[in-house]
Amino acid sequence: MLSRPRSTTARSTIAGTARGFVTLLLAAAVAISGSVGAFAQNVPIVRDAEIEALVRDYARPIFKAAGLANDGIDIVLVNDPSFNAFVTGRRMFINTGALMTAETPNEIIGVMAHEAGHIAGGHQQKLRDQLERAKTMAIIATLLGAGAIVAGATTNSRGLAGAGMGVAAGGGEMAQRSILAYQRTEETTADRSAITYLNATGQSGMGMLKTFSRFQSALSLSGTQVDPYRISHPMPQERIANLETLVKQSPYVNKLDPPALQQRHDMMRIKIAVYMQGQAAASRLMRKNPGSLASRYGDAQIAYLYGNLNAALAKTAALIKEQPKNPYFQELRGDILMKANKPKDAADAYAKAVSLDPAKSGLLPVSLGQALMAIGTPESLKKAAAQISNGLGRDKENAAGYRYLAQAYGELGEIPAADLATAEGHFYSGDYRNAKIFAMRAQQKMKRGEPGWLRAQDIINYAPSGKTK
């Protein structure tokens, strides 16, 4: 589940009690060009195996129908209450605000279908290519407004900096927060494509219509929150009317989401509420459907975060009894046991979560590794390093994971491996300067040409945005 803020420039400010649900407050050294290294911005990214798997399950059939089948789509959850979602190609960025707004899977799936329509239509391809090359952190920084600062600070505009500049030139302060802005004609094309994909996958367009109608209505203008999505996707009345016609022509117009998917969606929303918005917001959501599995899941999470660990364990045990194959209930059990200072039992729970996880998330082995580290025997430390490496193999950009890996190697006395792991962590956070320092330190104690040495050399040779520094 969601956990742990961290910072890359101010090293390891580990705050927050929640483990699984990982909130990474990343000081992204926005590595667009050498000259902007001084700009650091706290960037909130949410890492969570359950939510990432669900969002990927939403995207997969749509992307396949759009001919974009790409199993390796990275889901990047941005902790921002506004509505935004876009795809660069390999990565899908989606705000927690979008997930919280959507009452059904179909509403999010509709937006994904529309985004797939933009990709298939080749809209903003050049910008998308630039985004694809950029590091995740740099894109997030741009998303949340830092891009405009960065663009202003650089003399040459290329890559993301150029993108930030272009967006900034297109409109006011709000527009800076919307990376991909489309023409009205492109919206019509994307809507038509979206309906094609939804029909091909036997899904209704009503969710998309509901979402876009909400953006279009005067109501959304009166709110204090400005949704970047609405700014980047023009929604004149006429477009909504045309879309409505298309949606209602579909044979699947009244098709509802499968109940199991709706249940996962409800669990996700309550989880986001519990971890990101607090107990009151979660309780409000849970009251709408008291006694449901999602509400009881929220209840167990609230007990874990704010209440009594024994109660949390009992509530989680009841959930596990109901869905013994749910990896995220095991993960919650592991989180609770870690907080209760029972790393052995926690490791057992995480090991179950890893083995049950059909999505093969890289996050769960890292949690397992942390529990094994906490056990602290030489044997468990070795297993910890292996598990964390396994997790990082599945999920290279999990910068926090490298810190745990470095710690495990450090405790094992394997200092060059620890230095290389630290170098990787800095590298994937975009802090190339420290990455190189640690890569060089690692190389000094490694045999020339061995795999670790070669990887260190890659880091040393890496030049962001084609610049050498």
* Interacting residues with Zn ion (CB under 5 A): 182, 187, 190, 233
Distance of CA 63 to the CA centre of its chain: 18
CA–CA distances in Å: residue 43 to residues 23, 27, 140, 354, 370: 10, 6, 7, 28, 24
Minimal distance, residue 242 CB to Zn ion, in Å: 13
Q: Which is nearer to Zn ion, 187 or 397 (CB)?
A: 187
Minimal distance, residue 63 CB to Zn ion, in Å: 16
315 close to 346: Cβ distance less than 8 angstroms: no
The residue type of 357 is D
Minimal distance, residue 190 CB to Zn ion, in Å: 5
Q: Which is nearer to Zn ion, 6 or 233 (CB)?
A: 233
Minimal distance, residue 193 CB to Zn ion, in Å: 10
Minimal distance, residue 151 CB to Zn ion, in Å: 23
Q: Which is nearer to Zn ion, 182 or 462 (CB)?
A: 182
At 210, list the tokens. 């509901």
Minimal distance, residue 189 CB to Zn ion, in Å: 9
CA gap 355, 327 in Å, rounded: 8
Q: Which is nearer to Zn ion, 118 or 352 (CB)?
A: 118
Sheet strands side by side (includes 85-87): 22-29, 40-47, 74-78, 91-95, 85-87
Q: Which is nearer to Zn ion, 229 or 275 (CB)?
A: 229
Distance of CA 38 to the CA centre of its chain: 25
CA gap 76, 85 in Å, rounded: 10
Q: Which is nearer to Zn ion, 247 or 385 (CB)?
A: 247
Minimal distance, residue 223 CB to Zn ion, in Å: 20
At 303, list the tokens. 């007990």
CA–CA distances in Å: residue 310 to residues 3, 274, 304, 313: 20, 18, 9, 5
**Cβ-closest position to Zn ion:** 233
Burial environment of residue 449 by CB neighbours within 10 A (0 to 12, 13 to 18, 19 or more): exposed
Q: Which is nearer to Zn ion, 187 or 335 (CB)?
A: 187
At 260, list the tokens. 């199991």
CA gap 19, 208 in Å, rounded: 34
Minimal distance, residue 272 CB to Zn ion, in Å: 24
Burial environment of residue 401 by CB neighbours within 10 A (0 to 12, 13 to 18, 19 or more): buried
Phi (first) and psi of residue 180, to 5 degrees: -100, 110
Q: Which is nearer to Zn ion, 194 or 418 (CB)?
A: 194
CA gap 43, 23 in Å, rounded: 10
